[in-house]
Amino acid sequence: MVGLGRMGSNMVRRLMRAGVRCAVHDRSRDSVAALVREGALDAGSPAGFLKSLAKPRHVWLMVPAAVTDAALDELAQSLEPGDTLIDGGNSHYQDDLGRAERLAKRGVRYVDCGVSGGVFGLERGYCLMIGGDADVVARLEPVFMALAPGKAAASPTPGRASKGTADQGWLHCGPHGAGHFVKMVHNAIEYGLMAAYAEGFNLLHHAGAGRDARAVDAETAPFRHPEFYRYDFDVAEIAELWRRGSVIPSWLLDLTASALAGHKDLAKFSGQVADSGEGRWALAAANDLGVPVHVLAASLFGRFASRGESEFQDRVLSALREQFGGHAEKTTA
Ligand SMILES: NC(=O)c1ccc[n+]([C@@H]2O[C@H](COP(=O)([O-])OP(=O)(O)OC[C@H]3O[C@@H](n4cnc5c(N)ncnc54)[C@H](OP(=O)(O)O)[C@@H]3O)[C@@H](O)[C@H]2O)c1
């Protein structure tokens, strides 16, 4: 394993628990030392994998997408024909095609693997979306089985006839790039689901606005029925409630309930929501394919706006209203 951050470290731990021997490398010696204490071998350097692993070697990268290419190329210098590089980071699926071709010239095999599970993966297991050649994927089966959540993570689907591995929590999705393509779409769905929960809880959060006095002037939309909006909802308790027997439970709802428990106002967060690329790539793929992705677009643009990227356009709106109607801006602060 190369890259012993939040993901890589716990993946090594889960692999070792299942009896898979691991050699590790990271630019941080502390991260290496922590795993060596738990039984991993210290590869020492990218070249160290040549000595510390038996042939054919399998080296898994768990680094930020922006540094994956450089790390892959450095590692490839240290590997031999028949060895395999696996990128488990959130890379753009289109990069996988060029990487596979480049590595094939040295006889090094390549597998792209979208990994879902976050910091809870150590205990819950990691959902694995895999792209590459079938023979290498088959060779890696013990590794995928060790990392994946396993059959017990969900009840059997009635009517499912397939004997495939999906019900173990890992799947060979297709050729190079297929794993990261599926992960990209998984994250696009995640954006939408998160936005839907966030929006719903925000609506509940504002449902008491009828109790407050509202300005009566030409700049303020009339509040026709303030008496309909006099609720003081306990959002934490509603999140807890919906986890049981409603039609919208999910792990994301569990996490929402956990975040709200005791911290209903979420005051420690600024609300500036980052995005690490998959949503943009999914939107671009949808554009290329002419496929509508309304929910993804709205949730991705919501994240941009949360970071202040709509500030200038909002000023343009205010400037226009001032020009054509003499409307002065009302500030809420
Ligand atoms: N966190 C998640 O929930 C999650 C879920 C699925 C997939 N992923 C993907 O998995 C990958 C790793 O994520 P993470 O959350 O584990 O990130 P992380 O905690 O930030 O760890 C990143 C690792 O990469 C190393 N690294 C960073 N920059 C480097 C560079 N320039 N050269 C060499 N090594 C470098 C870091 O080394 P240092 O320790 O020295 O900084 C660290 O070991 C990313 O591609 C991410 O998108 C993350």
> From the CB of residue 148, how many other CB atoms can be counted at a distance below 10 Å?
23
Ligand 1 atom 18: residue of nearest CA: 5
pTM of this prediction? Answer: 0.95
Protein residues with CB under 6 Å of any ligand 1 atom: 3-8, 26-28, 31, 62-65, 67, 71, 89-90, 115-116, 118, 276
Q: What is the pLDDT of residues 233-251, one digit of tens each?
A: 999 999 999 999 999 999 9
Q: What is the pLDDT of residues 72-92, one digit of tens each?
A: 999 998 899 999 999 999 999
What is the three-class DSSP state of 84?
A: strand
Ligand 1 atom 33: residue of nearest CA: 27
* Ligand 1 geometric centre to CA of 90 (Å): 10
pLDDT, mean of residues 106-120: 96
Q: So what's the pLDDT on residue 49?
A: 86
Q: So what's the pLDDT on residue 333?
A: 53
Closest ligand 1 atom to 8 CA:
16
Q: What is the pLDDT of residues 283-333, one digit of tens each?
A: 999 999 999 999 999 999 999 999 999 999 999 999 999 999 999 998 875
For residue 180, what are the contacts with CB-CB under 8 A and spacing of at least 6? 87, 90, 91, 92, 93, 95, 96, 112, 114, 129, 131
Tokens for 269, please give them: 């967060």
Reply yes or no on whether the pLDDT at 7 is more than 60. yes
pLDDT category, 62, cuts 50, 70, 90?
Answer: very high
On average, the pLDDT of the chain sits at: 95
pLDDT, mean of residues 179-187: 98
Q: Are strands 109-116 and 84-87 parallel, antiparallel or unpaired?
A: parallel
pLDDT category, 219, cuts 50, 70, 90?
Answer: confident
Q: So what's the pLDDT on residue 222?
A: 87
Active site residues: 183, 190
* Ligand 1 geometric centre to CA of 13 (Å): 16
Reply yes or no on whether the pLDDT at 4 is more than 70. yes
Q: So what's the pLDDT on residue 306?
A: 98
Q: So what's the pLDDT on residue 264?
A: 84
Nearest in space to 69 (alpha carbons), one of 53, 92, 50, 40: 92
* Ligand 1 geometric centre to CA of 150 (Å): 25
State the residue for tokens 């922590």.
34
Q: Which of 78-92, 94-108, 207-221, 284-298 has the lowest mean pLDDT?
A: 207-221
